[in-house]
A and B are shown apart, each in its own frame.
Chain A
Amino acid sequence: MSAAKIRLLGKLTAAATCAAAWLAISPAALAVPSFARQTGMACEACHTVFPELTHFGRVFKANGYTLTNVKQVRDVTGKKEELLGISQFPPLSIMAQISYTEMKTPVPDLAAVGAPGVAQNGTAGFPQQFSFFYAGKIAPNLGAMFQLTYANDSGTIGIDNSDIRFADELTLPDRGTFTYGLSLNNNPTVQDLWNSTPAWGFPYALSNANVTPLAATAISGPYAQDVAGLTAYVYWNESLYVEAGGYRSAKQGVTNELTGAAGPLDGTASNVLQGLAPYWRIAYEYNWDRHSLEVGAYGLDLKVLPGGSPSAPSPLIGPYNEFDDVAEDLQYQFVGDQHLLSVLATHIHEAQTLNAAFASGAAANPRDTLTTDEVALTYYYRRKIGGTVQYFSTTGTTDAGLYPTTPAGAPGVITSANGSPDTRGWVAELNYLPWLNVKVSAQYTWYSKFNGGGTDYDGVGRNASGNNTLYLLLWFAY
């Protein structure tokens, strides 16, 4: 690796609290046939097409994944209090994503920077991702969606999106229902019931062999599987949903330098949350005929201590960076037997107070903003063939610290010539499902702007459109 590249990566690491961490994120995925085995109901009960949830799927999730229609091994007290209720067979599933990625313009080969050499264009992921799930009931009011994933970029198995829930339901005198519960999860919005929030939003699968922009809001995934949250929620008449809770750092593969134990976290860990990061969510869903409309808002306020690494520790004290995200979302669904239509939209505004990054020089400004807008339109015919078109846009304050220019002699690509995070474009995806648990996709991503520019965005000649990506995917779960 060249010295310039090393310097650049060092700078990006320092600024990782703001943006770069999302480069390592695996796309979320939820399509779990063990739920179907547990309920005895076909995928279509809970999904329009996986992983988008129907109203029934949302209620099933809110009720803690506990609805079961299979024989139980049970134990009860003399007063018929349930001591045990487990399925005779555990709710296990597997999922695989096998992919092929090709970019419009190959990226430079780091082994030959400045020379005509480029990296091989066309990456086969076999598998890109392979997951193992425990997804279903644990006890009468306790259930979980627990995912372990092998990913080809890390080459290791690690914890993926997980959500453990306690839930119970009261019936009201007017024959209404009142569900209340707790969710213990590792990714803000993974517990959410709608597909208009980040964790389960479109695109449901993404290449991990292309170039991703520098900027992403904190609630959109940079802290996925890096935090643990406990939230409490109520769901009144399957319409009004209110949730609140908090997240703390829950690092994987990080140890205390002194004791060698899994904790407590010290200055050799990076991007450590200070205290509890509050999360909130409110949503209202109205269903009529074959239509369903949800409008809502959600937010997360993270205070992040930059920390360091084993080779360059930095105490977990002093100034921190704060990412205060407030978002609105909307979801519309038409679920017919022949035609299915969905609109998913969200607007996320992030106020960044970068006391730590500004003091260290990793950010050029003490305060920045970042705004993300996404609107996706999906259509399916008989749940067999369909597609999605999505517009996405991220805009924000120009900050040459967070979105650095290309150092002399470096290859660019993941830099910004003008220090702007602005990125926008479209995703178009075609899907064919020969069976409800098998999806074949062709996805194309167009960038009209990338890291602040349309042409020569990195200052060394790369255009935004050079990062356009063709992504072919075979995705199945069993």
Chain B
Amino acid sequence: MARLTMWLGGAAVLIACGSAAWADEPDATTRLYAEHLALTVCGICHGTAGNSVQPKFPRLAGQNANYLAAQLKAFRAQSRGDPDAIAYMWGMASQLDDATIDALASYYAAQRAEPSATGTSAQASRGREIYLHGVAPQGVPACSSCHGPDAHGLAEFPRLAGQHAQYVLKQLASFQSNMRNVAIMHGVAQNLNLADMDAVAAFLETQP
């Protein structure tokens, strides 16, 4: 319980910081440039409207602009260290300036997210339980407390609804191993077993 309280405290601080650091509105030229980049470069992997086909590449449509901007800046600074970030995004983000990053983030935030899978399953139902209520015996808090009850994200916390299950699973594993070094998520993921991670990922993939 002490761990859960500490985690919620950390989350509250992050939300406050996130609100203060809300992205600036990009000017029209930068917006057009970013849109061109999104369609002709980012779109090769992430889909032109951010609804990627390949589960290796995350869906970005409808994603929180602040989260996206923070991730692009982390790629640029080479501070996000999961394997795909190193192989793909460190280079891709290396020459982006802040204004373009903000414009790209706004572009994807404005796209309509489509779920990457449909249907229900026992695994997804279990995932829904974990997402909404956590796993108290293991000290895992409810995901919804930060990512929102509909998994659309809150402030700095990313939208997870409709995300590829494989991508979510890989990120949880990266948080767990600290390859993606995010203290809050490390705290959550280190107490999740693989079956629970699978279940949450399966649930999120089907969410609108």
Q: Which residues of A contact B (CB under 8 A)?
A: 39-42, 44-45, 55-56, 59, 63, 67, 69-71, 169, 171, 175-177, 238, 287-290, 335, 337
Contacts and interface: CB of A to CB of B under 8 A. Distances in A.
Contact of B40 (A41, A45, A69, A169): A169
A337 B90 contact: no
B39 A290 contact: no
Given A42-B87, A290-B54, 9 more contacts: A40-B94, A41-B91, A42-B88, A69-B91, A171-B36, A177-B39, A289-B55, A290-B55, A335-B56
Contacts of B54: 55, 287, 289-290, 335
Interface of B: 35-36, 39-41, 43-45, 48-49, 53-56, 86-88, 90-95, 170
Contacts of B94: 40, 69-70
B44 A175 contact: no
Contacts of A335: 54, 56
A39 B91 contact: yes
A335 B55 CA distance: 10
B44 A56 contact: yes
B23 to A, nearest CB: 22
Contact of A70 (B35, B44, B95): B95
B40 A171 contact: yes
Contacts of A177: 39-40, 43, 48
B175 to A, nearest CB: 17
Given A177-B39, A288-B53, A71 B95 contact: yes
5 contacts: A41-B87, A44-B87, A55-B44, A55-B54, A59-B44
Given A177-B40, A289-B55, A40 B92 contact: yes
Minimum-distance CB pairs A-B, first 3: A40-B91, A42-B87, A175-B48
B33 to A, nearest CB: 11
Contacts, number: 60
A457 to B, nearest CB: 47
B74 to A, nearest CB: 15
B108 to A, nearest CB: 12
A370 to B, nearest CB: 38
A70 B90 CA distance: 11
A453 to B, nearest CB: 48
Contacts of A56: 44-45
Contacts of B90: 40
A365 to B, nearest CB: 49
A56 B56 CA distance: 12
Nearest to B29: A80
B44 A238 contact: yes
B55 A175 contact: no
A287 B55 CA distance: 12
B66 to A, nearest CB: 24
A467 B93 CA distance: 52
Contacts of A289: 53-55
Contacts of A70: 94-95
A39 B35 CA distance: 20
A251 B88 CA distance: 41
Contacts of B88: 41-42, 45
A238 B52 CA distance: 13
Nearest to B50: A175
A45 B41 contact: no
A287 B40 contact: no
B86 A42 contact: yes
B69 to A, nearest CB: 18
Nearest to A63: B40
Q: Which interface residue of B54, B56, B95 has the most chain A CB atoms within 10 A?
A: B54
Contacts of B53: 287-289
A69 B97 CA distance: 12
B6 to A, nearest CB: 33
A175 B49 contact: yes
B55 A176 contact: no
A2 to B, nearest CB: 58
